[in-house]
A and B are shown apart, each in its own frame.
Chain A
Amino acid sequence: MTTVPARPPLVRRGDRFLAGVCSGLAMHLGWPVRNVRVAMVLASLAGGAGVVFYAWLWIMVPTADESARRQARRPASPIAPAVSREPVPASVPRAAAPAGTGASLGGPGAVPPGVADGGRGVDAAPPDARGYASGGQAPGHASEAARPPWFRFREMRYGKEILLGVGLLLAGGILVAQLLGVDVPLGTLIPAAAVLGGASIAWMQLDETRRAGLVDKTKADQAGGWARLAAGLALVVAGVLVMVSGSGSWEQTWLALLASVAVLGGVVLVLLPWALKFWRDLEAERAGRIRETERAEIAAHLHDSVLQTLALIQRRAANEHDVVRLARAQERELRGWLFEDPGKDAGQLSDRIKAAAAEVEDLLGNAVEVVSVGDAPVSEGHEALIQASREAMLNGSRHGGGTVSVYLEASDGRAEVFIKDRGPGFDLQDVPEDRLGVRESIIGRMNRHGGTATITSTSEGTEVRLGFPAAPQDSTEGKP
């Protein structure tokens, strides 16, 4: 069915005599309109078949306008679309289960247009909805996998139409044969058709299950699968029963039904342990695979980060400063990977302060320990706070020569940062006028942006206190 040549889609066209069916059909088939109309009239004379066919197409085939509207929403036309245009996966749902089932069910027993229409009507709305729903998804395999498996059949795209056609042909043939006086054994044919239909439904299910790898399915999919399996099974059982009992007698059929259900129950009882074991093996294998994937991911991460760093450390073993710096950088990276909450909003104030601390650590090699309480989204004024903090950390790390402690306390209203080192300290009065680090980058910057900065320095260390915005009453501590 993939070899269908490129055809214009089947729509009712504007150059109409009655409803535009014939011209549309002609365009679709590539025949002259006149021939189609003649054939239709001839068919109408043959027991009204042409009239029924015409009416059916009238109902089923959209007008060119409708089709255009639909195409605007969906890449492909609903009925036997031209394959030249490869539809986006969103339109694959065409091989929808309800229609397929309807075709199989009604197959032999002359599908009346109403039934087919029902199936179509049911199915006409959802594909649009699905088209919308999956329109937002990324095209390709990701969205393919996200869809329930029975919508996933590319090959089955025209399966419904073909099944319907075969069924109609069969029914038509039987009718014609009966008209011609041939005795058609309907009593055998109908059950046989039921068996075939049921079996194919069940097998289609199996095929899908295999395709889905038997594992990566959601519960809802499984429920749908089970329903279809049950429907197929019921059809097959009913067909076999009617065929074997050979009569339409209800009593006999009921008895046989009872017996067969009993037998089936016995078979299920015997096979159940195997099935369960099979299922458990599958689950175990799946769990094992997930674990293996996780392990591989961790191994990859450790290889990319920790092992590389260890190799570097061995090569630089002579340079203590480099070793400490490498170890700190690796520790930071690993901590981020192990302990960071992935659900947390990135880019909060605390993240920015920590990033600044990491930068300073990398630059100067001394540890910068950040403790943060609360958090806030970064506002424009916070940028100045972050820059001033970074400058203070740089100073602390450069002149303090040891660990720098950073404490951030933030809420939506106010943020405070304290940067403390244990260096020999300095007197702000003694800093030459041309040295801008402290005066400009910290104090001046904070004041310009409506914050505060105070510096306390003793021989035991220096602490820079930054606040933004300026608090109504400054710092609760004893010293300002």
Chain B
Amino acid sequence: MNTTQGAGTGPVRTARSARVVIVDDHAIFRSGLKADLDPSIHVVGEAATVEQAIAVIAQQRPDVVLLDVHLPGGLGGGGREVIAGSAALLTTTKFLALSVSDAAEDVVAVIRAGARGYVTKTISGAEITDAVYRVAGGDAVFSPRLAGFVLDAFGTAPADIADDELDKLSARELEVMRLIARGYSYKEVAKELFISIKTVETHVSAVLRKLQLSSRHELTKWAAERRLL
């Protein structure tokens, strides 16, 4: 999973900086992640439980929250509950889910709660830095595995004109998802499809929106089979 989504675009944005809160119940992982992140990213707070996380996020109002999917405390909802508890800040604070879990229900649950992306914990420091900036800029971050989940949930047949636009991916979106699932970075996707990186980002954001909002029958069924809804 440590494929480099958007590798090579990071250096362009080094002039920027971002304020980040790390939410994870493992202190070792938090300190490791802090050491890995680019110096331009300022970690302004840490939290280990759902309650701490909601409090720290409300107090610090960071640009990005790096959020573990599985967290102790609260009502047992983990990362999903943190996002729900910080719903008022969703316009200014973006959430990027971090997980060691491969389970589709974990991943898609936080995405549907409002996270802007999902990466695994084995991702490298440069990659996570890039992902943080991408999320802070309002884009979505898809790992190959999340793209695989999306293709699984929405099916691999493109939408007809008649379909509800939320319920299926367009042919272009399918192509983008397939390439991401194959390990392509955004830049590589853009090159492969002869479109701009901005367009790729637009497609990915559109897919993320569909994943969050769609009540598509198959998606519901798919989610229910994985005890998601």
Q: Measuring CB to CB, which residues of chain A are less than 8 angstroms from any residue of chain B? A: 335, 339, 367, 369, 371-374, 403, 405, 407, 409, 411, 418, 420, 422, 460, 463, 476-479
In the bound complex, do residue A403 and residue B2 qualify as a contact, i.e. CB atoms below 8 Å apart?
A: yes
In the bound complex, do residue B102 and residue A409 qualify as a contact, i.e. CB atoms below 8 Å apart?
A: no
In the bound complex, do residue B144 and residue A407 qualify as a contact, i.e. CB atoms below 8 Å apart?
A: yes
Number of interface residues of B (CB under 8 A): 26
In the bound complex, do residue A420 and residue B183 qualify as a contact, i.e. CB atoms below 8 Å apart?
A: yes
Interface contacts beyond A369-B145, A369-B183, A476-B175: sample of 8 additional A-B pairs, CB < 8 Å, sorted by A: A339-B102, A367-B2, A373-B148, A374-B152, A403-B3, A407-B144, A420-B184, A478-B192
CB distance from B28 to the nearest CB of A (A): 14
Known: A339-B103, A367-B2. A373 touches B182 (CB 8 A): no
Residues of B within 8 A of A477 (CB): 175, 179, 192-193
Q: Mark B122-165, 1 if CB is under 8 A from A, else 0.
A: 10000000000000000000001101100110001000000000
In the bound complex, do residue B194 and residue A478 qualify as a contact, i.e. CB atoms below 8 Å apart?
A: yes
A405–B120 alpha-carbon span in the complex (Å): 14
A150–B147 alpha-carbon span in the complex (Å): 57
How many A-B pairs have beta carbons closer than 8 Å: the answer is: 59
Q: Mark B179-215, 1 if CB is under 8 A from A, else 0.
A: 1011110001000111000000000000000000000
Residues of A within 8 A of B1 (CB): 369, 403
In the bound complex, do residue B182 and residue A420 qualify as a contact, i.e. CB atoms below 8 Å apart?
A: yes
A479–B145 alpha-carbon span in the complex (Å): 23
Q: Does B220 contact A (CB under 8 A)?
A: no
Q: List 10 A-B contacts (CB under 8 A).
A: A339-B103, A373-B148, A374-B152, A403-B1, A418-B182, A420-B183, A422-B4, A477-B192, A478-B192, A478-B194
Residues of B within 8 A of A374 (CB): 152, 156
A405–B194 alpha-carbon span in the complex (Å): 22
CB distance from B56 to the nearest CB of A (A): 29
Among B4, B103, B148, chain A packs the most CB atoms within 10 A around the CB of B148
Q: Does B178 contact A (CB under 8 A)?
A: yes
Known: A371-B144, A371-B145, A460-B188. A407 touches B152 (CB 8 A): no
CB distance from B45 to the nearest CB of A (A): 29
Residues of B within 8 A of A369 (CB): 1, 3, 144-145, 183
Q: Does B60 contact A (CB under 8 A)?
A: no
Residues of A within 8 A of B179 (CB): 477
Find A371's partner among B148, B156, B175 (CB 8 Å cutoff).
B148
A9–B156 alpha-carbon span in the complex (Å): 70
CB distance from B162 to the nearest CB of A (A): 21
In the bound complex, do residue A409 and residue B156 qualify as a contact, i.e. CB atoms below 8 Å apart?
A: yes
Find A405's partner among B103, B183, B192 (CB 8 Å cutoff).
B183
CB distance from A445 to the nearest CB of B (A): 21
Q: Does B101 contact A (CB under 8 A)?
A: yes
Known: A369-B1, A478-B193. A405 touches B101 (CB 8 A): no
A405–B151 alpha-carbon span in the complex (Å): 16
In the bound complex, do residue B183 and residue A373 qualify as a contact, i.e. CB atoms below 8 Å apart?
A: no
Residues of A within 8 A of B101 (CB): 339
CB distance from A103 to the nearest CB of B (A): 53
In the bound complex, do residue B2 and residue A407 qualify as a contact, i.e. CB atoms below 8 Å apart?
A: no
CB distance from B158 to the nearest CB of A (A): 9
Residues of B within 8 A of A476 (CB): 175
Find B148's partner among A335, A403, A407 (CB 8 Å cutoff).
A407
Residues of B within 8 A of A403 (CB): 1-3
Residue of B nearest to A417 (CB): B182
Residue of B nearest to A456 (CB): B192
List the 3 closest A-B pairs by CB distance, nearest first: A405-B183, A371-B148, A407-B182
Known: A405-B144, A407-B181, A407-B183. A373 touches B156 (CB 8 A): yes
Residue of B nearest to A476 (CB): B175
A407–B181 alpha-carbon span in the complex (Å): 6
